[in-house]
Amino acid sequence: MTQSSAELYNQMHARSLSDPAGFWGEAAEEISWIKRWDTVLDDSKAPFYRWFKGGVMNTAYNCIDRHVEAGRGDQPAIIYDSPVTGTVETITYREFRDQVALFAGAMKRLGVEKGDRVILYMPMIPQAVVAMLACARLGAVHSVVFGGFAPHELATRLNDAKPRLIVSASCGIEPNRIVKYKPMLDAAIEQAEHKPERCIVYQRPQETAELVAGRDVDWNDALKGAVPADCVPVEATDPLYILYTSGTTGQPKGVIRDNGGHAVALKWTMKHIYNVKPGEVYWAASDVGWVVGHSYIVYAPLLNGNTTIVFEGKPVGTPDPGTFWRTIERHKVTTLFTAPTAFRAIKREDPNGEWIGKFDLTGFRALFLAGERSDPDTLQWAEEHLKVPVIDHWWQTETGWAISGNPLGVHLFPIKYGSATRPMAGWDVRVLAPDLSEMPRGDIGAICVKLPLPPGTLPSLWGADERFLKSYLTDYPGYYQTGDAGFIDDDGYVYIMSRTDDIINVAGHRLSTGAMEEVLSSHKDVAECAVIGVADDLKGQVPLGFVVLKMGVNRPDAEIVKEVVQLVRDQIGPVADFKRAVVVERLPKTRSGKILRGTMQKIADCQDYKMPATIDDPAILPEIADALKTLGYAKSHEGAAA
Ligand code: COA
Ligand code: AMP
């Protein structure tokens, strides 16, 4: 790459900030509109910004039909590769269009209309993508719930999104077990105040679910006699989907994504960030239940006319640590996007990269990592063995695409380990002190983004404008508060160091320790509790619970620990990975009663910490260290602050 491509990035980034309407207006030419917008950026109700106001389009049309019309009908749209079932299946753009139109027709017959919500509780099978696009085709709003969440979490989302319909499947497949979805779905509907009118259930050969007469419909029966539905024109500002993500409480935040801005931004990213051309094979090894799955398994590659891989398996054990390389070779993948944790899992089983050497990776061009901090060891290991650029990029469910990264399609900046490189177009990233002043280069502060955010980012939270303002726009007026802390160095590289709230990242999955504490507190013997995220070699972080028992409780600690662990699994789900807890006499607090979770976490991870000036009783810290040692943490802690 030459100096001039770095200049190109500088010019592009500067223009995206000085002339957002001009910049994104040009990018919007890549999308097919039924009616062009009246205003690129409507700031009349700031800080509620709206992109492409007055524009009318359909996201599913842009993802599928327009490619068929342009001659891509015979190109694979989806390759379903499922090592857990031994299946490889290809669906062309034409077949995909027909399947989506027919399923949309089936939903329409069941009463689904533009603006209705549809919850999808699906494993990684092509039907999940068909259902998402069918919603988009009708202008209905989908909300996908990850299969690793428990019925209670699903019920919370039912109450908030109030869907007319649920689309689910009989089961998901984990390497060690069949996960029966239908009993969880039934339990969630039972618990929820809002009941959907109908459920469509895809019966997989591995498990046949029992259907509730009058409410549930077999996927294939729903299709019988259905009339393919046309694309429904929607406003650019209409919601395409709601994706719930962890907040600081047990009530998840319903992040809204619009249609127009989302399509424009994601299409732009495929060229400029990922450097992928239409027709190439792009693979995001994630799950449709997460934002990475929404943006880069489904919408961005389809908007760009790529072939996308729906992979049902794990990076290791399905069947071996070569499964990623086998998939890349088999389908001629050019670009892979996954979470660092997947690479840590592979590296652990194949430290010398021998499995990589067994496959022909010609044509594989780049690896993108996101979802959690990339540790330099893993990144270097991937670089050394794959011999392609390994790019860390930083983003959030709220943003829908990368805030900062290395824009491979414009200029590949030298990689600095630990940094997610430079802000992408539209992102005016600042590191702020609490008084809103900018931190000097290299100093850690709250990472904020000057408003307006670029297209594709959340316009608000579902039914919760006030919460949107309070969560993101209040503490730093004029800025979006990312909730991440970090710094920018002298070269303008962005470093993400930690969260400033109680969100943790377990195997690339975003979880709230506050939500886990709510569950622990509901146990009859628990007086108070704290949950912290501690460092983990494989998963980045794992949750760890401390419980203080009510006076007079006289049962073995081990029994209570077992019960609280089960409670979190039942209430939040296996994805929380809450497996470690300990009973303690008391918790360390400030004099005003705030639990010192940060200090506890540092003790657990054997990091230096300062004795908090406001601590009420310093003698509690050694007790915490002793308790942690019983779980294998705080090994080098001597019970004193550094
Ligand atoms: N449905 C039901 N259960 C699920 C599930 C799903 N879709 N996904 C995960 N689970 C369960 C797992 O079976 C496991 O249950 P267990 O406690 O009974 O073993 C639990 O949830 C925790 O899952 P996970 O954190 O994925 O751990 P793992 O040991 O099964 O796998 C990794 C570890 C690193 C291999 C795996 O997390 C991985 O591939 N991560 C990639 C990250 C990713 O895709 N992130 C998305 C953002 S890019
Ligand atoms: P999610 O909403 O699940 O995508 O999680 C978003 C959070 O994950 C961010 O706020 C960060 O804390 C973390 N995160 C995502 N990508 C990165 C990255 N590349 N580096 C560091 N942290 C990241």
For the CA of 579, the closest atom of ligand 1 is 17
What are the tokens at 300? Answer: 């961005």
Torsion from C-alpha of 583, 589, 594, 596, nearest 10 degrees: -70
Q: Does 639 have pLDDT greater than 50?
A: no
Dist CA 628 CA 633 (whole Å): 5
Cβ–ligand 2 distance for 494 under 6 Å, the answer no
Q: Does 212 have pLDDT greater than 90?
A: yes
Please report the pLDDT score of residue 150 as a whole number: 95
CA 72–ligand 2 middle distance (angstroms): 35
For ligand 1, atom 46: residue with the closest CA: 286
Cβ–ligand 1 distance for 292 under 6 Å, the answer yes
Integer angstrom CA distances of residue 635 from 537, 557, 631: 15, 21, 9
Where is average pLDDT lowest: 133-142, 427-436, 454-463, 606-615?
A: 606-615
Longest dimension (CA), the chain: 74
The per-residue pLDDT for range 149-205, each reduced to its tens digit, is 999 999 999 999 999 999 999 999 999 899 999 999 999 999 999 999 999 999 999
For the CA of 420, the closest atom of ligand 2 is 19
Cβ–ligand 2 distance for 501 under 6 Å, the answer no
CA 575–ligand 1 middle distance (angstroms): 6
For ligand 1, mutation pick of 120, 295, 314, 580 (most atoms within 8 Å of CB): 314
Please report the pLDDT score of residue 240 as a whole number: 99
Residue 391: nearest ligand to its CA?
2
Q: Tell me the HSE value of 168 on the side-chain side, using a 13 A CA sphere.
A: 33
Q: ∠ CA(373), CA(379), CA(380), 5° rounding?
A: 145
Q: How far is CA 71 from the centre of its chain?
A: 33
Residue % of the chain over a pLDDT of 90: 95
For ligand 1, atom 8: residue with the closest CA: 148
Q: Does 638 have pLDDT greater than 80?
A: no
Integer angstrom CA distances of residue 435 from 25, 74, 440, 444, 477: 35, 57, 14, 14, 10
Torsion from C-alpha of 332, 335, 339, 342, nearest 10 degrees: 30
Cβ–ligand 2 distance for 484 under 6 Å, the answer yes
Cβ–ligand 1 distance for 290 under 6 Å, the answer yes
CA 510–ligand 2 middle distance (angstroms): 8
Residue % of the chain over a pLDDT of 70: 99
Q: Does 2 have pLDDT greater than 70?
A: no
Of the candidates 435, 443, 439, 431, which has an alpha carbon nearest to the alpha carbon of residue 477? 435
Residue 568: nearest ligand to its CA?
1
What are the tokens at 2? Answer: 């030459």
The per-residue pLDDT for range 359-416, each reduced to its tens digit, is 999 999 999 999 998 999 999 999 999 999 999 999 999 999 999 999 999 999 999 9
What are the tokens at 115? Answer: 């603006």
574 touches 567 (CB < 8 A): no
Please report the pLDDT score of residue 386 as a whole number: 98
The per-residue pLDDT for range 321-360, each reduced to its tens digit, is 999 999 999 999 999 999 999 999 999 999 999 999 999 9
The per-residue pLDDT for range 283-302, each reduced to its tens digit, is 999 999 999 999 999 999 99
Dist CA 271 CA 267 (whole Å): 7
Of the candidates 66, 249, 251, 234, which has an alpha carbon nearest to the alpha carbon of residue 153? 251
423 touches 404 (CB < 8 A): yes
The per-residue pLDDT for range 43-59, each reduced to its tens digit, is 999 999 999 999 999 99
Dist CA 457 CA 455 (whole Å): 6
b/e map 172-186, b = 16+ CB within 10 Å: bbeeeeebebbebbb
Residue 288: nearest ligand to its CA?
1
Rounded average pLDDT over 21-36:
98
* Mean pLDDT (the chain, rounded): 96
459 touches 41 (CB < 8 A): no
Cβ–ligand 1 distance for 147 under 6 Å, the answer yes
Of the candidates 568, 451, 459, 558, which has an alpha carbon nearest to the alpha carbon of residue 520? 568
Dist CA 57 CA 479 (whole Å): 30
Rounded average pLDDT over 425-450:
97
Cβ–ligand 1 distance for 577 under 6 Å, the answer yes
CA 483–ligand 2 middle distance (angstroms): 10
What are the tokens at 317? Answer: 């054990």
Please report the pLDDT score of residue 4 as a whole number: 86
Cβ–ligand 2 distance for 505 under 6 Å, the answer yes
The per-residue pLDDT for range 503-543, each reduced to its tens digit, is 999 999 999 999 999 999 999 999 999 999 999 999 999 99
Q: Tell me the HSE value of 497 on the side-chain side, using a 13 A CA sphere.
A: 13
The per-residue pLDDT for range 118-147, each reduced to its tens digit, is 999 999 999 999 999 999 999 999 999 999
Dist CA 302 CA 60 (whole Å): 9
Residue 337: nearest ligand to its CA?
1
More confident residue, 27 or 637: 27
Q: Does 563 have pLDDT greater than 50?
A: yes
Beta strand pairing call for 526-536 and 333-338: unpaired
Q: How confident is the model at residue 636 (pLDDT cuts 50, 70, 90)?
A: confident
For the CA of 507, the closest atom of ligand 1 is 37
Residue type, 117: R
Cβ–ligand 2 distance for 371 under 6 Å, the answer yes
Cβ–ligand 1 distance for 293 under 6 Å, the answer no
Please state, as a whole number, how many other Cβ atoms lie within 10 Å of the Cβ of residue 591. Answer: 11
Rounded average pLDDT over 305-311:
98
Q: Does 637 have pLDDT greater than 80?
A: no
Q: In 3-state terms, the chain is what percent helix, strand and coil (to 5)?
A: 35, 25, 40
Please report the pLDDT score of residue 3 as a whole number: 56
327 DSSP 8-state letter? H
Please report the pLDDT score of residue 640 as a whole number: 47
The per-residue pLDDT for range 539-560, each reduced to its tens digit, is 999 999 999 999 999 999 999 9
Cβ–ligand 2 distance for 483 under 6 Å, the answer yes
Please report the pLDDT score of residue 610 as a whole number: 86
Please report the pLDDT score of residue 211 as a whole number: 98
Those residues whose C-beta lies under 8 Å from the C-beta of residue 461, and which sit 6 or more positions away, are 253, 254, 255, 256, 467, 468, 471
